[in-house]
Amino acid sequence: MSDTACISFPSRRGLTLRGILHRPEPSADRQICVLLLSPGIKGRVGPHRLYLKLAAYLVPLGYHILRFDFHGLGDSDGELPEQELVDVYNRVHGGRYVEDTIDAMDWLEATCGIRRFVGSGLCGGSISALLTAEIDHRIECLLGIGLPTILEGGPENWARYVTREQASLLGGAYLRKLGDPKSVIRFLSGKSSYGSILRILRRWLPVRAASSKIGTAATASSVDSTNPRFASAFLSMIDSGRPMLLVYSEADRLRAQFAENFELHYADRLKRLRDPYEVVVIPRANHVLSDTASVAELAATGVRWLQTLHGQFPQNHPMSRSPEAQS
């Protein structure tokens, strides 16, 4: 029979991380673990117990499910130093919990012999999975639920998280604009984002301008709220041939942001690829998929996709009914 265990393991930071491991029946065990990573500041349960509901669908299919609290959240050790919630979110989107995720996989491999993982989670959980997958190929596929492509707080805040490579491109563009009278007038008129310019130049000055390795070179006019780490991680999944299913809610802006901030900029490159990823939109669903029908549609979509990757599932799996919340 399948069972559930409270688990704890040490992180590389010396903190104890705690969570729940759902284990399938031995006869059905696929030796694959779905990582349902904590979204934002939410803990391992997920909003409206979403992760418990998904686990009830997936464990009978032979998957292990790990839900654990990142450091500074829930029952795990540690504290978050930020004073503003927007900064917490942006640290998550910038990869704060990549190390915790790798430590969790290391622990599962050492204790359970599991070496294959499905990266997943809602919003911040999915971006944590994506950024982890960029450097750890034990994550063999991504089931992104509401995968975000932008940082919070607008262009001014974006400049705090810009990468050195982007700073090189933008810094050079700023200096070239000094020869443009219109740009100089705009700068002197107070319409420029001085904080963004200063932060970018501070990062740019110590390094030489370099060509972008992941796409079209940015220009000064392209400064927006796009997560500077998103494209590199996403394209890494594509280049390595690892499948991705992106599930978005219809009543959510994230699908449009993904189209505008990623697909539009990399349209030429994506056209040359054959089915690099799949996007599904759940009708009438909100961001946290709070109603029963949305969860059922999410689960059915995920199960169909996983079946194409890992083979047939038991025919008596009750996909048509809503799973009862587990404790």
| pTM for this entry | 0.77
Q: Report pLDDT digits (tens) over 105-135.
A: 999 999 999 999 999 999 999 999 999 999 9
Give the whole-angstrom CA distance, residue 226 versus residue 158.
7
Q: Report pLDDT digits (tens) over 50-102.
A: 999 999 999 999 999 999 999 999 999 999 998 888 889 999 999 999 999 99
Residue 3 burial by Cβ neighbours in a 10 Å radius (0-12, 13-18, 19+): exposed
> What's the token pair of residue 123?
């919003």
Residue 148: its H or E element? none
Other beta carbons less than 10 A from residue 163's beta carbon: 13
The domain segmentation of the chain, as residue ranges, is 3-152+226-310, 154-222
The residue written with tokens 């996909």 in the block is 319
Under DSSP, the state recorded for 150 is: B
So what's the pLDDT on residue 212? Answer: 39
Closest C-alpha to 90, from 144, 159, 44: 159
- The answer to whether residue 219 scores a pLDDT higher than 80 is no
What CATH architecture does domain 3-152+226-310 belong to? 3-Layer(aba) Sandwich (3.40)
Q: Report pLDDT digits (tens) over 267-281.
A: 999 998 888 899 999
Give the whole-angstrom CA distance, residue 53 versus residue 35.
14
